[in-house]
Copies of this chain bind each other. A is one copy, B any other.
Amino acid sequence: MQRSVVDAGKELIKEAISENFDLKGLGLDTPSTVALKIADLGCSVGPNTFFAMQNIIEAVEMKFLQAKNQNLSAIEFQAFFNDHYENDFNTLFKTLPPSRKYLPAGVPGSFHGRLFPKSSLHFAHISYALHWLSKVPKEVAERNSSVRNKSSVYNSSVAEAYSTQFKNDMECFLNARAEELVPGGLMFISAGVIPDGIPVSNTRVGVFYEVLGSCLIDLVKMGVLGEEKVNSFNWPAHHATPKELEAIFKRNGKFSIEKMEKLADHSMEKPLSLKGYVLAARAVMDGLIRNHFGDESAEEIFNHFTTKAEENFSKILGVAQQYLSVFILLKRIE
């Protein structure tokens, strides 16, 4: 799925750089040695991050070629690959494309805080990572909290706490990037969102939480998982709606929203298969489930999840389209 989104984003990035990257405003319109700095935030281990980096560089080179007043050989690119301290940077570095056009660097740390010096980045890219919260909100993390609904992964009180956390996280994220991007610098965001005006429970995300929740409750009843272990499991993510995101960007006020549009996600065009759904869900769940339940229980959860997905597949199909990918182009206000 992610690769399909990177491909769909390629044309949008090209267009964005052609139309919104102001060489003159950035002092890049006279022949001189230039180092352009690009960050991919929440990059994981590749290869999608490498495709994204290449797409941005190709688009910048085209922009310079069109401007006709800059020698491409005088332009250098420094590519910063960012993810959490736990990310496998060793694998990332060993699998860097040999024919790359950039000087690579890995940057460990949370993108909810500062990662780069002030005014040092020209481009920031973040693909399908903004929905992860910086932490489980205190009132959700607490045992016996009134916000929790025992074994369910999600309920309206948890949703509210997550939504508040998401707003705070986004404010931190935008403030950090506003400091790091040069005035006129661009941020490309790809994100999964849920449509405006539909209850979360009727979306692809909501039904996934429901299926996973009932899977975990089954396993408690079957004696496979402890009740306390399931009750303390959290899924610290929030899928915003387009309107919610727009309001967050406007309230922050440090970026202009140059573009916000539905991303053509070819993986969404094919009818969803049970196998495809389970594979995608497993890819998303893997880390969280293994970390919380351990490898052995994780296998049992994945197996039973397949059974539950099969039982609920008509419901899953019914909301499959209630989820979309958006491409957002933000520009650091000068």
Contacts and interface: CB of A to CB of B under 8 A. Distances in A.
A94 interface: yes
A76 interface: yes
Interface string A86-101: 1011100110100000
The winner among A33, A80, A96, A108 for most chain B CB atoms within 10 A is A108
Contacts of A120: 35, 78
Given A35-B117, A89-B89, A120-B35, A106 B103 contact: no
A105 B86 CA distance: 14
Contacts of A86: 94
A71 interface: no
Interface in A94-128: 94, 96, 103-109, 114-120
B93 A103 contact: no
Contacts of A78: 116-117, 120
Contacts of A117: 35, 37, 76, 78, 103
Nearest to A78: B117
Copies in the complex: 2
A79 B103 CA distance: 15
Nearest to A89: B89
Interface in A251-274: none
Interface string A264-299: 000000000000000000000000000000000000
Contacts of A33: 118-119
Interface residues of A, number: 28
B88 A118 contact: no
A119 B115 CA distance: 21
Contacts of A96: 85, 108
Given A33-B118, A76-B118, A78-B117, A93 B89 contact: yes
Interface string A166-183: 000000000000000000
The winner among A33, A104, A109, A117 for most chain B CB atoms within 10 A is A117
A108 B118 contact: no
B89 A94 contact: no
A94 B85 contact: yes
A78 B39 CA distance: 15
Given A78-B117, A86-B94, 7 more contacts: A33-B118, A76-B117, A85-B93, A88-B90, A103-B114, A105-B107, A106-B108
26 contacts: A33-B119, A35-B118, A35-B120, A37-B117, A76-B117, A78-B117, A78-B120, A85-B93, A85-B94, A86-B94, A89-B89, A89-B90, A89-B93, A90-B90, A93-B106, A93-B108, A96-B108, A103-B114, A103-B115, A103-B116, A104-B107, A104-B108, A104-B109, A105-B105, A105-B106, A106-B107
